[in-house]
Amino acid sequence: MELSNVQNVALWGFLAAVVFGAIANKTNFCTMGAVSDWVNMDDKNRLRAWFLAIGVAIIGTQLMQAWGVVDLGQSIYLTANFGWLGHALGGFLFGVGMTLGGGCGQRTLVRFGGGNLKSLVVMLLMAITAYMTLRGLIAPVRINAIEVTNLDLAARNVPDQGIATLIQSLAGATDMQAVRWVVAAVVGLGFTLYALASREFLASYKNLFAGTSIGLLVVAGWYITGKLGFDEFEPVRLESYTFVAPVAENLNYLMTYTGSTINFGIAAVFGIITGSFLYALVSGTFRIETFSSREDMVNHVIGGVLMGFGGVIALGCTIGQGVTGMSTLAFGSVITLFTIIFGAALTMKVQGHMLDEQPFWRSLRLSLADMKLLPAPGP
């Protein structure tokens, strides 16, 4: 049976995602864990792995753009509709949610593949909330409270929200191609060199492998949809890996299979779970895990809801914006990346102070003081 273009793209997306899921499980690649290691133990190895993935993804993706393999201008990240509030608020809420829920969207799928039933609850709530935000009950909030603040850059003679485009518009540079090359080199190599500047990180094979391979898999995602999937008569959306809206689409696909069509994102969700599950079976690490307490369950429920809502209004997660979006050098992705990190770090600090039996508001004040955002409160 000959596959259609859409099915062919979905198949390749699934196969690459199987590899993604297996690698993420084997190496314990986790962006929430990366922030936790940094905040709680001053260990930056997993943070460097994440940043290496970003650097590799930027370099590979920008090279494909320069060679004409893909047209990143067709992606959702480089539109002239700049949703600054969605990126900032959504990123922050996603960071809070992934901390409460025990991992970001990608990690939730990987944990579920390894037998973690807590992640199943997070995944379902994230999917339901994301779909409600996209097309359901919460959609009016997104449209009338968040997207109403969007800036139309085209009205200001700025064609897109790429960092190079914004610099060129502000500086009045005439050679746009040169500006793009400089920005890609500075940002891509900056993330890469930061990651590789640590001898401890270079000696950590699994983190080095995780960062490099996941960055390359994001590049592969762009290639699959932009090159292998290019067909004027049966077009597919240009995209790479992201794990919030596709999880919602996946749930809808399962419920309306006979009236739905698979796509790259849906196939990727299946692939991540499958890859993690296969690795867990082969390695003997598959374990059924459930909630340890009522508080544990409540935190995961809240986390799933916040990730679903935040991920939609921010247009992505720690992978969807933090690596895939960053690979396009979109300014919105930069905002989302840093607000996710801030939201996660702040939540971890608040949790730490509350473990010392401090009330919530004082814990929040102490945490902001720890981050040098407020003066230290009195005793």
Question: With contact defined as beta carbons under 8 Å apart, do 264 and 13 qualify?
Answer: yes
Q: pTM score > 0.75 for this model?
A: yes
Radius of gyration of the chain (CA): 20
Question: With contact defined as beta carbons under 8 Å apart, do 299 and 43 qualify?
Answer: no
DSSP 238-266: -----SSHHHHHHHHHHHSGGG----HHH
In the chain the first and final C-alpha atoms are separated, in Å, by: 73
Question: With contact defined as beta carbons under 8 Å apart, do 9 and 264 qualify?
Answer: yes
What are the backbone angles phi and psi of residue 373, rounded to the nearest 5°?
-100, -15
How far is C-alpha 104 from the chain's CA centre? 8
Separation of alpha carbons 305 and 307, rounded Å: 5
* 198 backbone φψ class: left, alpha, beta (φ>0; ψ -120 to 50): beta
Separation of alpha carbons 22 and 329, rounded Å: 27
Separation of alpha carbons 221 and 231, rounded Å: 16
- Residue 172: its pLDDT value, please? 78
**212 Cβ contact list (under 8 Å, min separation 6):** 52, 53, 56
- Residue 376: its pLDDT value, please? 81
Give residue-wise pLDDT tens across range 307-341: 999 999 999 999 999 999 999 999 999 999 999 99
**231 Cβ contact list (under 8 Å, min separation 6):** 5
- Residue 379: its pLDDT value, please? 67
- Nearest 5°: CA angle at 87, between 209 and 139? 115
pLDDT averages per 10-residue partition of the chain, 379 residues: 90 98 97 96 96 98 96 96 98 98 95 97 97 97 97 94 93 80 96 96 95 98 96 92 96 91 96 98 96 95 98 97 98 98 97 92 94 83
**326 Cβ contact list (under 8 Å, min separation 6):** 54, 57, 58, 333, 334, 337
Indicate the DSSP class of residue 227. Answer: I
Separation of alpha carbons 220 and 314, rounded Å: 23
- Which tokens belong to 118? 């807590």
CB atoms inside a 10 Å sphere around CB 86: 22
Burial class (CB in 10 A: 0-12, 13-18, 19+), 42: exposed
Q: Give start and end residues of each alpha helix (H) in the chain.
A: 5-27, 31-41, 45-66, 84-100, 105-113, 117-135, 139-141, 163-171, 176-196, 199-202, 205-223, 245-255, 264-283, 294-313, 326-327, 331-355, 360-370
Separation of alpha carbons 244 and 92, rounded Å: 15
- Residue 151: its pLDDT value, please? 97
